[in-house]
Amino acid sequence: QHTVIFIYFPPDNSFSENKAHTMAYDHDGEDILKPLVFRLHESVPEAVREVLLERGWSEFDEQEQDDADWNLYWQNSPFRMTDHRSIKPWQRLNHYPETVRITRKDYLARHLKRMKGIYGPSLYEFSPVAFIMPNDYVKFIAEYTKERQSQGKKPSYWICKPVDLSRGRGILIFQDIKDFVYDCMVIVQKYISNPLLISGYKSDLRLYVCVTSFCPLTIYAYDEGLVRFATEKFDLSSLDNVYAHLTNTSINKFGASYKKNKEGIGHGCKWTFSKFRSYLRSHEVDDLLLWQRINNIIMLTLLAITPSVPLTSNCFELFGFDILIDDTFKPWLLEVNYSPALRLDCSIDTTVKKRLLHDIIELLNYKQTDTLRENKEPGTKASYAGRTHIPLRTQGENATDDAPNFLASRQESEWTATSAVQSLLEVAGGSFKKEAIVIGKMARTHPRKTLTSQLRERMNRLKTSSQSKAASKSKQLPGARHPAHASVQVTHWLPTTELCNYKLTIPPYFLSTKDKRPFPRVGDFVLIFPFNDAALEASRNGVDVKSIVQEIHKLMNKQSPPGQQKVKKRKDYLTFR
Ligand code: ADP
């Protein structure tokens, strides 16, 4: 099969001077561009399918399509190593291997304890003291007894959680050891008994974090997220009232007050981060500093497993970080969730999670070439072997020209001086900051409507399948923000296995050019790691955890110099109650 490459110069020079755009046709001049194809495991929530259809993707059909003829495979459980090994260049998997090492409560506790031992308690004191039962029973009793015997100190409250359950199942809170019973493997954690209360209600934060590469380490934190409230007022005299002490939606939606209009909180049990931030600002709380501290927790936690994640490319991992803020505005890490819930339970879920899903697809950096799954190989219906690969990017091209075009459609106000990325980069300082911000700005000024996108729109208009009808119907759904097919034009940096070993394969001067850096912001995903050149360098050629931790330490000192650790003075936060 012959492939003809047409060089296309847009008549209006709209996106970049002298920049050629390539498109492939087969020898009959027939279009060979196809919609991107997703493959979902049956347990994946419907929202994922909805968003992908809205974007013009089609669903994998086992009967009709070859095994490899898909671009994204999404499931809630880990993939087999053979799936990772047989990955094709145009495919992505939604999990890295071995990431459960921080998503099971006991593994996380063990890893964080190890990191604390190596790098010191001042950095790793963000997770409540924990004991894994039954192994740590003796240690727990020793700690419990020591506390009881120390004069003038109020004994701690403890929370006991099964290590591999979620959604608040099997949780017990106690102060007296006689109330402590367990019949499976559990962790017993110090209970944060002074949570930040809003109108008397406890809450925690669900943060979405996407790792697009473990080597070089690349971490994006989502700027928007969920604040999840308990639906009854916090009260330490009723430890068995789950509606007052647990903030899981799966529990609180069954509470008697769930639907009621609760003073200061409203109906239901969720806020967006946007609402929470404006609430904090209205109470003169430095929400940026709070967010920087949360970002530090995310980086330090992920570093605990980074060296042990096998080198694999074409995957990403979406984590759900649960953070509880206490009444001194100290953020605590409660746990890290694997496959965080993407079900749409209420309108706030729809706002946050659908947008999140759109932005994940943007982050995945699908290129035009990912849709060309055409060439045949004997014995298969379609395969990659022998495929003509058409590079969209050539050496020397500026990354700013390849910026995701959806950035252009963002409101100016969304790229404000108060955005987390800018604050982080401002603290980081140096050339990295300037370049990163310039990339963001230029990205906005180059909206693109390429021949490819027009052709794809035309092809999709012609489609008569029920799938395409469903897609076009869902395009009108409220909350659908991104134009369909925007993803095919995204060609920004995504690290690959080859890049990881670049010191061996590619001259260093080539890689230090700015287009080998990740984008500082993709949709509402904000790059939190690497945050400066030193951090980037230390995470490229195998991850140098020690150097990275040192860089984070320096960053933390800049964010809040010793003596200025508090987000807000104690007398002020009492107004929250
Ligand atoms: P699950 O995976 O079952 O949701 P979590 O660790 O997230 O378990 O705990 C469930 C809820 O219990 C949290 O959302 C939070 O409200 C509360 N919680 C958990 N650990 C603590 C703690 N150490 N201190 C205070 N509250 C906690």
- Read off the pLDDT of residues 307-324 as tens digits, 9 standing for 90 and up: 999 988 899 999 999 999
pLDDT-derived band at 562 (thresholds 50, 70, 90) equals: low
What pLDDT score was predicted for residue 565?
Answer: 55
Cβ(491)–Cβ(369) below 8 Å: no
Q: Which two tokens stand for residue 314?
A: 């074409």
Ligand 1 mean position, distance from CA 349 (Å): 20
Q: What is the 3-state secondary structure (H, E, C) of 73-113?
A: EECCCCCCHHHHHCCCCCCEECCCCCCHHHHCHHHHHHHHH
Rg for the chain (alpha carbons), in Å?
A: 25
Cis amide prior to 216 (ω within 30 degrees): yes
* Per-residue pLDDT, 172: 95
For a pocket test of ligand 1, which of 126, 235, 246 has the largest count of ligand atoms closer than 8 A to its C-beta? 246
Is 43 buried (19+), middle (13-18) or exposed (0-12) by CB count in 10 A? exposed
Give residue 169 CA to ligand 1 midpoint distance, Å: 10
pLDDT at 56: 93
Q: Hey, whose CA ends up nearest to atom 14 of ligand 1?
A: 247
Ligand 1 geometric centre to CA of 154 (Å): 22
Which residue out of 324, 325, 332, 339 has the highest number of ligand 1 atoms within 8 Å of its CB and is therefore the one to mutate? 324
- What pLDDT was estimated at residue 11? 39
Question: Distance between CA 267 and CA 488 in Å, rounded?
Answer: 40
**Tokens matching residue 511:** 């890689």
Cα dihedral value 434, 436, 442, 443, nearest 10: -170
Please compute the mean of the pLDDT values over residues 343-356 and round it to a whole number: 96
What residues contact 550, with CB distance under 8 A and at least 6 apart? none
Measured in Å, residue 286 CA sits from the centre of ligand 1 at: 25
Q: Is the pLDDT of residue 509 over 50?
A: no
The residue whose CA is least distant from atom 10 of ligand 1 is: 168
Which residue did the predictor score with more confidence, 464 or 295?
A: 295
For the chain, the residue count is 577
Q: Name the residue among 410, 356, 51, 49 with its Cα closest to residue 209.
A: 356
pLDDT in tens, 54-102: 999 999 998 888 888 999 999 999 999 999 999 998 899 999 999 999 9
Closest C-alpha to ligand 1, atom 9: 168
Looking only at the bridges linking them, the beta strands covering 37-40 and 58-59 are: parallel
> Chain-wide mean pLDDT for the chain?
75
Residue 284: alpha-carbon gap to chain centroid: 28
pLDDT in tens, 160-188: 999 988 899 999 999 999 999 888 999 99
pLDDT recorded at residue 442: 32
How far is 450 from 58, CA to CA, in rounded Å?
A: 21
Among residues 111, 166, 110, 101, which one has the least CA distance to residue 136? 110
Which residue's C-alpha comes closest to atom 12 of ligand 1? 246
Rounded to 10°, the helix 46-54/466-475 angle is 90
Rounded to the nearest angstrom, the distance between the alpha carbon of 310 and the centre of ligand 1 is 30
Query: How far from chain centre, in Å, is Cα 320?
Result: 7
Closest residue by Cα to atom 17, ligand 1, is: 246
pLDDT of residue 438: 33
pLDDT tens sequence across 264-293: 999 999 999 999 999 999 999 999 999 999
**pLDDT, tens digit (0-9, with 9 covering 90-100), for 16-49:** 333 222 233 344 445 456 789 999 999 999 999 9
Q: In the numeric block, which tokens belong to residue 475?
A: 């395009």
Q: Is 208 helix (H, G, I), strand (E, B) or coil?
A: strand
Residue 168 alpha carbon to ligand 1 centre in Å: 7
Residue 475 is predicted with a pLDDT of: 38
Residue nearest to atom 1 of ligand 1 (CA): 166
Overall pTM surpassing 0.85 (yes/no): no
Give kind and range of the element (H or E) at residue 206.
strand 201-214
Which residues fall within 8 angstroms of residue 208, CB to CB, at 6 or more apart? 221, 222, 225, 318, 319, 320, 321, 340, 356
Closest CA to 362 of 491, 526, 514, 213: 491
Q: Once rounded to an integer, what is the mean pLDDT over residues 531-536?
A: 90
Tens digits of residue pLDDT in 428-481: 444 343 333 333 333 332 223 333 344 344 434 444 344 444 444 433 333 333
The percentage of residues in the chain with a pLDDT greater than 90, rounded to a whole number, is 56
pLDDT at 411: 29
Ligand 1 proximal residues by C-beta, below 6 Å: 128, 159, 161, 165-169, 171, 189, 191-192, 204, 246-248, 322, 324, 334-335
C-beta separation of 203 from 228 below 8 A: yes
Q: Give the ligand 1 atom nearest the CA of 228.
A: 14
> Are 219 and 527 within 8 A, CB to CB?
yes
Q: Is 541 exposed, middle or buried (0-12, 13-18, 19+ CB in 10 A)?
A: middle
DSSP 437-456: HHHHHHHHH-----HHHHHH
Instruction: Residue 293: name the closest of 162, 436, 420 by CA.
Output: 420
pLDDT in tens, 93-148: 999 999 999 999 999 999 999 999 999 999 999 999 999 999 999 999 999 999 99
- What are the backbone angles phi and psi of residue 126, rounded to the nearest 5°? -95, 0
